[in-house]
Structure 1
Amino acid sequence: MSFQEIIGQEMAKRVLQNGLRSQKISHAYLFNGPAGSGQLKMARSFAQALVCIHQGEEGCGECIECRKMEHGNHPDFHLVVPDGNSIKIEQIRELQRIFSYRSEAGNRKIYIIKDADKMTVQASNSLLKFLEEPPAPAVAILLTENVQSILPTIRSRTQPVMFTALDPQQMTQILADENFPMPLIRCAVQIASDPDECRELLSENWFAEIRNVVLQLGKESAGRGSISLITAQQKLFKGGLGDHLERIFDLFHLWFKDMIHIQIGRNESIVFIDQLESLSKVAHTRSMQHWVSCMALAAESKKMLRSHVNGQLCMEQFLIGVSG
């Protein structure tokens, strides 16, 4: 994969490509940013550029070294991922064992540690020694969404590379070019972290169904709450959509936010823009404070779900709260 295939993250690309261009490569990098910001793709692209025989600011994708990287069988590249909920000391020791042998081609060895913040204390201490005294020329690339959980001594020995959340407008254009329905795209890019996750949502029939249910429940709960309770029972729990309640609360959060945008005249920010006429009739039936409290209620209901509270009970309490 080339850097050009990665969406956004121009600052991170510039840092890495400047190093490649000047042949000033750090022994260790710390990629830090939110989920879905493309850290692993960027790390793989950087690793490919490092092993490419042309030694430019981009892997050529055609030489034998690049092809090995793309096929996942390059002997000088290793990826470490959590074993269960953590990265254990045994994994770091195995990495050290593998890297104790020099590259047959005389190249740097490269390793990526995904979710580096999930290393145990023992694993972190073992990695620290490895960073300070690698047995052979090596480049470490640590990936994290929570940089504060990385040992300060490790952070001080790595070059930071910052990643930012992807712009929903960029993702919208990409997905629109792939001919996904725009009303669904506008929702997906607000609740998914990257284009791949958006594609997964947009490819599921239930995503369009729950969007329609949220629109109906939103209108009904602004009127007579008992009607919304009946609709939820029939369309969610009897209709087979009860497994997607977290996403439903995500969509409700967007729906309430649209109510506020309508009240303050920010129509360009409305997610359910295809429903503008009907939403406008509902938005002014409640105060802005009510819609803000509904957003908080959606977040709390999602939190209750994750604490294993009964889904139907969560939804019923939520709809009663929204009805006021």
Structure 2
Amino acid sequence: MSFQQIMGQDIAKKMLQSALRNHTVSHAYVFSGPPGSGQMKMAQTFAKALFCEQRTDDACGECLSCRKVEHGNHPDLHIVEPDGASIKIDQIRGLQRLFSYKSENSNPKVYIVQQADTMTVQAANSLLKFLEEPQLPVVGILISQNGQALLPTIQSRTQMVPFHALHPEVMMQELIGEGYTTALVRSVVHIASGLEACREILQQNWFAEIRNVVLQLVKESMSRGSSSIILAQQKIFKTGLSEHLDTLFHLFHLWFRDMLHFRYGRHESIVFIDHLESVSKLAITRSTEQWVSYMDLAANCRKKLRFNVNGQLCVEQLLVGLSDTSGSITV
């Protein structure tokens, strides 16, 4: 993979390629941004470019060094991942021992620390010493959701490279081009962070199933004589879909937001565009304030799940709330 094959992150690519061209590569970087924004792919591509035998500002992907990185067996590239919930001091010490030996060629040694913000205090202090006194030419890449969470002393000795979440439209074009169903793609890009996470969900049968259940429950809960709670028990809690309640509430939230998009004429932003006829009929049955209150209710149910509130109670609360047409919903 070359820099050009990585979607988005133009600022990061410009910074790294400029350093490669001008021979001003820093001894350490922090790739800071949300999960799924491509930090690891960028780190591996940067390492390949540093080792590449054919190009100076990118990875050719064909030379022996590039292929070794691709296959995970380049002797001068080392990756550190959390051991359990954190990166521990022994892992950093082990890295230091590996880097006490000279490289096989004139290239620097490269290390990548994933989830660097999980380092224990002892590990972070040990890495700091390594940053201050590298024994050999070395390039470090620390990957973090929030670079500001690292020790200030580490931040001051590294170059911050910002990463941003990919725009849903960008991910949508890529995934549809890969052959995934358009209707599912329009939903998943608003739920998952990054292309890999989207692909992982799209490859699971449960996502299409739970999306259909949401559509059934919305229509049922807003009709007279609603039996939506019974339907939820049959379709969710007597199946494996009960493991994906966070996604269910997220999809409900997107549906309610679609009602607002329709009311304000923003049809291009509607997620459930494959059900536009239903959207158009339902959108006018509630006021803007009521749709907003339903969005708040769905968001609150997701929040309660994180605090281990019983999932079935959360679903029932949502469905009961949808039958309230007064607009005064307690969240």
The 3-state SS of whatever aligns with 1:23 is: coil
> Pairwise mapping of residues 234-249 of structure 1 onto structure 2 (< 5 A)?
234-249=234-249
Quote the offset at 1:250 in angstroms.
Answer: 1.1
2:216 alignment partner in structure 1: 216
Partner of residue 109, structure 1: 109
Letter in 1 for 2:227: I
Work out the percentage of aligned pairs sharing the same amino acid. 62
1:225 and 1:320 in contact (8 A); partners too: no
Distance in 2 of aligned mates of 1:280 and 1:67: 53
Structure 2 CA distance, aligned partners of 1:264 and 1:227? 31
For 2:104 and 2:180, locate their aligned partners in 1 and report how far apart those are by CA, in whole Å.
Answer: 47
SS in 1 for 2:140: strand
**Greater displacement, 152-161 / 215-224:** 215-224
Alpha-carbon shift at residue 314 of structure 1 (Å) = 1.5
Q: Secondary structure at the match of 1:191?
A: coil
SS in 2 for 1:34: coil
- How far residue 57 of structure 1 moved from its aligned partner, in angstroms, is 0.8
Name 1:200's counterpart in structure 2: 200
SS at match of 2:103: coil
1:240 & 1:99 partners in 2: Cα distance? Answer: 48
Deviations 1:98-136 (A, max 9, x none): 111111323211001111111111111111111010011
The TM-score, its normalising length taken from structure 1, stands at 0.96
Does residue 73 of structure 1 match 2:76?
Answer: no
Q: Deviations over 1:29-60 (max 9, x none)?
A: 11111111000000000001001123511112
Q: What whole-Å deviation, never above 9, does each CA across 1:153-173 have from its counterpart, x for those lacking one? A: 111111111111101111111
Cα drift, residue 191 of structure 1? 0.6
User: Which residue matches 1:169?
Assistant: 169
Query: What residue number does 1:310 align with?
Result: 310
Aligned to 2:227, the other structure's residue is in SS state helix
Moved more, 61-70 or 126-135: 61-70
Farther off after superposition, 305-314 or 264-273: 305-314
1:188, CA displacement in angstroms? 0.9
Unaligned runs of 5+ in 2: 325-331
Residue 52 (structure 2) aligns with: 52
- Between the aligned partners of 2:148 and 2:217, the Cα distance in structure 1 is 41
Contact 2:76 2:110 in 1 (8 A): yes
Say whether residues 1:149 and 2:149 are aligned partners.
Answer: yes
What's the Cα RMSD here? 1.4
User: Could you tell which deviates more after superposition, 12-21 or 2-11?
Assistant: 2-11
| Deviation sequence 1:244-301 (CA, Å, 0-9, x none) | 1111111111001101111222111100011111112111222222222222221221
Structure 1 residue ranges (4+ consecutive) displaced by more than 3 angstroms after TM superposition: none
2:142 pairs with 1:131: no
Match of 1:30 in 2: 30
**Matches of 1:203 and 1:300 in 2, distance apart?**
28
SS in 1 for 2:68: helix
Corresponding residue number in structure 1 for 2:328 = none
Q: TM-score, normalised by structure 2?
A: 0.94
**Distance 1:225-1:78 versus aligned 2 partners, 3 A rule:** farther
* Number of the residue aligned with 1:17: 17
**Equivalent position SS for 1:241:** helix
